Amino acid sequence: MAKKVLKFGGTSVGTIDRIQHVARIIEKEHLAGNNVVAIVSAMVGKTNELIKLSNEISDTFNKRELDVLLSSGEQVTSALLAGALIKLNINAKSLLNWQIPILTEGEHSNARIINMNVEKINNYLNEKGVVIIPGFQGISKRAEITTIGRGGSDATAVAVAKILNADTCEIYTDVDGVYSTDPNKIPVAKKIDKISYDEMLELSSLGAKVMQSSAVQTAMMYDIPLEVKSTFTERKGTKIFNQENIDYTKSVTGVAYSKDDAKITLIGVEDKPGVAANIFEPLSKAQINVDMVIQNISSDQKTTDVTFTVKRDDVARTKEILREKGEINYKDIIHNDKVAKVSIVGAGMVSTPGITYKMFRGLSDEGINILAISTSEIKLSVIIDEDNTLNAIKKLHTIFDLD
């Protein structure tokens, strides 16, 4: 008998029929003698609907009240799924974040789970019951409802699995595993049977939407085995393991992309010690995440152009902050928000020569210009014009034998 945490995403619980289908998946696990804790997302589209309602009230809707509002979506799903299980004659109960409680820290809309009381959950499991927990939310030390960011149900599932000392954590979604790239864009994408935490973390942080990156990071820290599988088929999913399971013989595991980046360039920046710190310190304090950074020094070595990327939503705020900082001297500031980040990820890259050349040559053959570059041991990312995204993904997928 195993203790299992099963997480069901928004598409998995998007309709009443689908919720009843999820109930039958849980019923099968329950009848097999497993202790089941289910983590659920809001029904697909519900969170966006709630955000739209808040925007109709105010463009600057109060963050505390927004967390109260958005957390309701997962609570609805929890009650409906519990009801569906009860109809199947299974003892089931929804436990909300404040009833358990699930303790979080951090600011509204961006909190993180730090602990959870396991007594009520374990007592109910011992009574042969199934526990349903709404994902994406918790409660602060001041008894305020908090949410943990979009896609936060994954993070809830991994945290609950860790604290409950569960045997497995299974992520149910609308695809039957992790693919070498987006199968909706590239039909020849292959399902990956096994992938390391490191590779999955890179893919999820670079735009692959199968799992939230913070959830993968938590699983990696505490060595919690994960499996991504489909709610709608019985095919085997993708297993996510620790470093020992990396396949070093394969240079590239997958191709990821994102279209929510923007490139900002400060032209004619005075070239002297401390300038880079003066540029990026105020952005850090404003919690603006900077990704790629490129610096080009002029021939007279007196000025430099500094290029970096941020999320598109942060462009206006970034430019405003830099204009307000009088200690940063530059001639002009420009931005391009019609760019995409395309990345290749693979554990074997570190031991395979020629990967960088192969990627750059492939993009060159397609007439695609590289605007910025970022690397790590198992990742190589480039910024390109947004219009070239699909061609770039197809080319890279082919030249690295992922079709």
* Residue pair 192/249 in contact by the 8 Å Cβ criterion: no
Give me the pLDDT at residue 22, please. Answer: 98
- pLDDT at residue 29 greater than cutoff 90: yes
**Can you read off the two tokens belonging to residue 10?**
């928004």
Q: How far apart, in whole angstroms, are the C-alpha atoms of residue 246 and residue 56?
A: 48
Q: 331 or 205: which carries more pLDDT confidence?
A: 331
Residue 247 has pLDDT above 70, yes or no: no
**What tens digit of pLDDT does each residue of 119-146 get?**
999 999 999 999 999 999 999 999 999 9
What's the distance, Cα to Cα, between the start and end of the chain in Å? 39
Residue 145 pLDDT: 96
CA separation for the pair 182, 100 (Å, rounded): 37
Q: Please give the Cα distance from 277 to 267 (Å, whole number).
A: 16
Which tokens belong to 270?
A: 């005075």
Q: Which CATH superfamily is domain 3-174 in?
A: Acetylglutamate kinase-like (3.40.1160.10)
Average pLDDT over residues 174-202: 86
CA distance 132 to 308: 43
The answer to whether 193 and 238 have CB atoms below 8 angstroms apart is yes
Q: In whole angstroms, what is the distance from residue 183 CA to residue 256 CA? A: 11
Read off the pTM: 0.79
Q: What average pLDDT does the chain have? A: 90
98 near 176, Cβ under 8 Å?
no
What are the tokens at 101?
Answer: 């409680």
Is 5:170 a contact under the CB 8 Å cutoff? yes
Q: Over 60: is that where the pLDDT of 245 sits?
A: no
Task: Give pLDDT, residue 186.
Answer: 83
Asked if the model's pLDDT at residue 195 lies above 80, the reply is yes
**pLDDT one-digit tens code per residue, 343-401:** 999 888 877 888 999 999 999 999 999 998 888 888 899 999 999 999 999 999 999 98
Report phi then psi at 314, rounded to 5: -100, 0
For residue 227, give Cα distances in angstroms to 37, 44, 51, 127: 15, 21, 30, 27
- How far is 309 from 358, CA to CA, in rounded Å? 24
User: Is residue 41 within 8 Å of residue 8, measured between CB atoms?
Assistant: yes
DSSP state of 314: G
CA distance 393 to 397: 6
Query: pLDDT tens across 40-49, in order?
Result: 999 999 999 9
Q: Report how far residue 121's alpha carbon sits from residue 185's, in angstroms, rounded to the nearest whole number.
A: 41
Could you give the percent of the chain with pLDDT greater than 70? 96
DSSP one-letter string for 327-362 = T---SEEEEE-SEEEEEEE-GGGGG-TTHHHHHHHH
Domain spans of the chain, in order of start: 3-174
DSSP 181: S
Which stretch of DSSP H or E encloses residue 21? helix 16-31
